[in-house]
Amino acid sequence: LSPDHRDTLVCIYSLAGVLHKQEKYHEAEMMYWRALAGREKTLGLGHPHTLPSMIKLVAILYNRRKYNAAEIMYRRTATEGGKSLGPGYGATLKNTNSLVMFLQARESGIMDEVSVS
C-alpha cells in the first residue's frame, strides 16, 4: 500500500488515537498531521472523511496549549465543514459552536476550563 492509500491513512489515524489516549501528545499530533495531509491530498480539503482528522488535531493542539494553531484548525474545520456538509448540518453546527466557545474562553482567559471535543 502507498503512504496515501485509504487503508494506510486509516491506520495512521487510528494510531494517533491510541497515542492520544496514552497522553503521548507529541506523537499523536505528528500522526494526526500525517493523516490530515494524506486525506487532504487524496480526498480533498473539505471531504467529510478529512474533517475528523482536523477535529482530532484541534484537540491535540489544545491539549498541548498551542492555542494559535488550535484556533486556525477550528476555523478551518468550521469553514470546510460548512462548505462540504452544509451550514445546517449537525457536525457543522457543533464545530461552529466549539469555535465560538473556544474564542470566548480565549478572550476571557479561561482556556483550561474549556472542553475540546
Does 42 fall in a domain?
yes
CATH code of the domain containing 85? 1.25.40.10
Does 10 fall in a domain?
yes
> How many domains are there within the chain?
1
Q: Give the domain range for residue 33.
A: 6-108
The chain-wide mean pLDDT, for the chain, equals: 83
Does 1 fall in a domain?
no
Task: Tell me what pLDDT residue 73 has.
Answer: 87
d(CA 19, CA 10) in angstroms, rounded, equals 14
Cell 462540504, residue located: 84
26-78 pLDDT, tens digit per residue, is: 999 999 999 999 999 998 887 878 888 888 898 899 889 898 998 898 888 88
d(CA 38, CA 90) in angstroms, rounded, equals 25
d(CA 66, CA 58) in angstroms, rounded, equals 9
Instruction: Report the predicted TM-score, pTM, of the whole model to 2 decimal places.
Output: 0.78
Cell digits for 90?
A: 449537525
Q: Which helix (H) or strand (E) holds 94?
A: helix 90-108
